[in-house]
Structure 1
Amino acid sequence: MDRRHGAAVAALTLAVALVASACSDAPASADAVDAAERFYAAVADGDGEAACALLLPDAAEAAADDADAPCALAVTSGAIGDDLASRADGLGTATAHVAGRQAQVLFAADTVFLARSGGGWVVTAAGCDSRPERPYDCEVEA
């Protein structure tokens, strides 16, 4: 085998490895998007119990504390609920970035952060707005 052929084989092997590694995150990305979409579907349906079941317990508790109401009411009424409902109406297509046990799902109307918990994903922050050079500002966060 000459050097050019060996280099071509090495480049092809590297390309296949990169594609395989990118594809290996596809199921995790799809699952993270699904969890974020289910959260917003529950919010849009006014099903606070279902929405809160998809939150990290610390995030559910923080939402309840912020609204001085049970989580189920906090995510479906008042300032937090109104903001989440308005975002649910304009989510659009989602893309996800997964890094280990963390995920970020980007919608047109929101950025949702998730963490792997057991066999699935839980929402750790939602209703998030990007701020240049600073952390996101989120309605619901742990």
Structure 2
Amino acid sequence: MVCAACGSSAGQTASSVAGRFLAAAEDADAGAACELLAPKTREELEFGEDGPCTATLASLGLPGGTVDEVEVWGDRARATGRTDTVFLVELGSGWRVAAAGCTPPEDETFDCLLGS
């Protein structure tokens, strides 16, 4: 794994949260994945689909996988794996997933199944 700022506790923690999220997605453990979402992302998911996080998240078909690289910029991070890119935000409660199921951009914007 390549990690910009992984020597810092922020990089290690962001990597850990992204890894747990991707593992939960791969194992179809929507409950564990929902626990790792940023509050805003969870609210958008539940509001947009008008259902509980676990049911809605399971229906997205997130690819899961492992973290290969993490980049941290202050309170934001991007974790990239072979099958998924996850964006994270650091809150008072720690790192949380802000977007997932993101594919590399053809232009300048990632296309994400979850979050923005």
Q: TM-score, normalised by structure 2?
A: 0.83
Q: Secondary structure at the match of 2:109?
A: strand
Give the alignment partner of residue 61 of structure 1, picking from 39, 43, 46.
43
Partners of 1:69 and 1:75 lie apart in 2 by 10
Amino acid at match of 1:72: T
Superposed displacement of residue 119, structure 1 = 4.9
* Residues 125, 23 of structure 1: alpha-carbon distance in 2 compared, 3 angstrom cutoff: closer
Which protein has the bigger strand share?
A: 2
Partners of 2:71 and 2:49 lie apart in 1 by 30
Is 1:43 the counterpart of 2:25? The answer is: yes
* Residues 137, 24 of structure 1: alpha-carbon distance in 2 compared, 3 angstrom cutoff: closer
> Which structure ranks higher in relative contact order (CA pairs < 8 Å, sequence separation ≥ 6)?
2
Superposed displacement of residue 92, structure 1 = 4.2
Q: What are structure 2's unaligned runs of at least 5 residues?
A: none
Give the alignment partner of residue 109 of structure 1, picking from 76, 83, 86.
83
Q: Deviations over 1:84-123 (max 9, x none)?
A: 1xx21xx244211001010011111111100111252000
Superposed displacement of residue 127, structure 1 = 0.3
Q: Deviations over 1:50-74 (max 9, x none)?
A: 2111101111122223433211111
* Residues 104, 23 of structure 1: alpha-carbon distance in 2 compared, 3 angstrom cutoff: closer
Partners of 1:23 and 1:133 lie apart in 2 by 26
Partners of 2:107 and 2:9 lie apart in 1 by 31
| Seq. identity, % | 35
Aligned to 1:128: 102
1:92/1:108 contact within 8 Å kept? yes
Give the alignment partner of residue 72 of structure 2, picking from 90, 98, 102.
98
The range that moved more, 121-130 or 55-64, is: 55-64
Partners of 2:19 and 2:6 lie apart in 1 by 21
Q: Secondary structure at the match of 1:139?
A: strand
1:62/1:140 contact within 8 Å kept? no
Which protein has the bigger helix share?
A: 1
Superposed displacement of residue 132, structure 1 = 2.2
